[in-house]
Amino acid sequence: MAQDRVVIFDTTLRDGEQSPGATMTHEEKLEIAGLLDDMGVDIIEAGFPIASEGDFAAVSEIAKNSKNSVICGLARANFKDIDRCHEAVKHAAQPRIHTFIGTSPLHRAIPNLTKDEMAERIHDTVTHARNLTDNVQWSPMDATRTEWDYLCRVVEIAIKAGATTINIPDTVGYTAPRESADLITRLIATVPGADEVIFATHCHNDLGMATANALAAVEGGARQIECTINGLGERAGNTALEEVVMAMKVRNDIMPYTTGIDSTKIMNLSRRVSAVSGFMVQPNKAIVGKNAFAHESGIHQDGMLKNAETFEIMRPADVGLAETNIVMGKHSGRAALRSKLADLGFELADNELKDVFVRFKALADRKKEIYDEDLIALMQTSATAGNNALELVSLKVVCGTDGPQEATMVLNVEGTDKEITATGDGPVDATFNAVKELSPHGARLQLYQVQAVTEGTDAQATVSVRMEEEGRIATGQSADTDTVVASAKAYIMALNRLIARRGQDEPGYDTKGVSYKDQS
């Protein structure tokens, strides 16, 4: 018996990128879009075209390069947004316009619209979008806090105006599973024409129930799940793609639905999104966390040795995680490195391999044994190399109990090497002070986080930093066997991203392209 197909709508490049500091470069967006397309994502929400020229260019380029996925752009409920969105997505073989407006009492108050005025706007804007393309998605933002009668009314208006997908967003993560399922079921049963469109669910994780709410909505009749890689997104994030896909796969007995996702590509995509966004995946994160398939308890280890299914409900290989962790070292050759990286999901051209091999040998000289996690960290650091305003040339620190702690740094600033010695409250603080003196800025450090990549005193440290400057937030991430060096590189990466964004934000919009300033 054929199973119902659940459409996977990935919004990593739109809602995911709205996480504070998660801004991606143009090239990074194209790369992630390509990986999503290759993995079998049905619909890629590539961005918010009117937010900035950069967002428009990224959505347009993704649309041109898409092979299988529908390419979607987001637009507020006005003709200007919708026209701009269409201009970006029209290059795709399968374009979609996604337009939305906040329908709850709190959201209606922001543009100061009456219920009738908003209803008229929904009709007019959805009709306008449908005249541009036959694939239109409409969302009543904050649907789960919208009055039932009014929600039914506006959903019916959107369907009659030509929307082909009705998305029901739990914008602030307010609902619960039983309510989520009931809401979809009631809408399908109540609203005229509901049986002729696809209902979608878009859940946020503020109460930690995004995945449960999304799966419950599917039980209620939704056939599209909106989600992101690693659950990336505003505040506590969105429904995690990897969680809903693997939940339906592992528990297909009680959730008899299929998707088009190649789950063996999940782990590589998770790592790439983590690297380009600067958001580390928590170790105990379901499916893709470092500890997701780790077993330390003696009872668990004994059971695993006798039968892996004792404590594993899915195989590591199901999500693209290598079954074995072969140790590499300084005697490993280029062919062995290429093979190992391919096992980890990294396919390299000859020139790329040459550069990575040099970095690998340098790491092998400092670290006796190089594990999979070391290679992944190496690839993530390599991927961030490029044309930046600031590049670390050398760093020497003096630290200890007697002080003063100081850092002597040579920093290449827009092509010119500059050197300085700075002091601080510890080697990391001294290092950051050196960067600030060589490249003055007003950015404030919001987050500094260190995580060991592997075990042992020679383990690489992965450092993540988050910086804020005039409302703009950027993150940086780097790994090195020297924690201070990793800290310097991560700090410089975040600063480079802030420098690149200065002056790029369009007036009238916030740094993520979402604003109520122009609802007309």
Q: Extract the annotated binding site.
A: 15, 202, 204, 238
Amino acid identity, residue 39?
A: M
Residue 45's H or E segment, with its range, is strand 43-47
Q: What are phi and psi of 73, to 5 degrees?
A: -125, 155
Measured between alpha carbons, how far is 136 from 77 in angstroms, rounded to an integer? 13
Q: Residues forming the annotated binding site for Mn(2+)? A: 15, 202, 204, 238
173: Cα separation from own chain's centroid: 18
Q: How far is CA 63 from CA 59, 77, 98, 124, 228, in A?
A: 6, 22, 14, 26, 19
Tokens encoding 370: 């190089």
Measured between alpha carbons, how far is 339 from 333 in angstroms, rounded to an integer? 10
Task: Answer whether 275's CB lies under 8 Å from 384's CB.
Answer: yes
Angle at which helix 483-501 crosses helix 427-438, to 10 degrees, equals: 30
Measured between alpha carbons, how far is 459 from 53 in angstroms, rounded to an integer? 42
Tokens encoding 228: 């992101």
Calculate Rg over the CA atoms of the chain: 24
Three-state secondary structure of 369-397: CECHHHHHHHHHHHHCCCCCCEEEEEEEE
